[in-house]
């Protein structure tokens, strides 16, 4: 059981480094996946309140989601231009 938990932690660490590199370079896929994982983390943190934990996670994930959805950040990742192209005139 311990080795399975250690393996999961290693995979999560590798995934975090890949996402961090993508965010650093302004890759669209990194913005998308970070937003997805932040929403999943937010929901998990909300559910964890029932067992007495999760408040800090909620705050952290809300800050990440707020930041990623700002116009200048979306522009940096090339998301704002795509949204403007899809809007009707």
| Per-domain boundaries in the chain | 2-86
Strand, coil or helix: 5? helix
Q: How far is CA 35 from CA 32, 41, 46, 69, 89, in A?
A: 5, 10, 16, 9, 28
Q: What is the pLDDT of residues 28-37, one digit of tens each?
A: 999 999 999 9
N-to-C CA span, the chain: 57
Instruction: Tell if the pTM clears 0.75, that is, is over it.
Output: yes
Question: What is the average pLDDT value for the chain, to the nearest integer?
Answer: 87
pLDDT classification of 27: cutoffs 50, 70, 90: very high
Q: What is the pLDDT of residues 60-85, one digit of tens each?
A: 999 999 999 999 999 999 987 655 55
Give the span between the Cα atoms of 61 and 42, in whole angstroms: 6
Strand, coil or helix: 61? helix
């Amino acid at each position: 059981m311990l080795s399975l938990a250690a393996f999961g932690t290693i995979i999560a660490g590798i995934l975090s480094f890949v996402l961090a590199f993508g965010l650093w370079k302004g890759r669209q896929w990194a913005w998308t996946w970070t937003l997805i994982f932040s929403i999943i983390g937010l929901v998990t943190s909300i559910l964890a309140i029932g067992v007495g934990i999760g408040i800090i996670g909620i705050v952290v994930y809300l800050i990440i989601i707020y930041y990623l959805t700002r116009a200048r950040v979306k522009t940096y990742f090339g998301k704002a231009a795509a949204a403007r192209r899809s809007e009707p005139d």
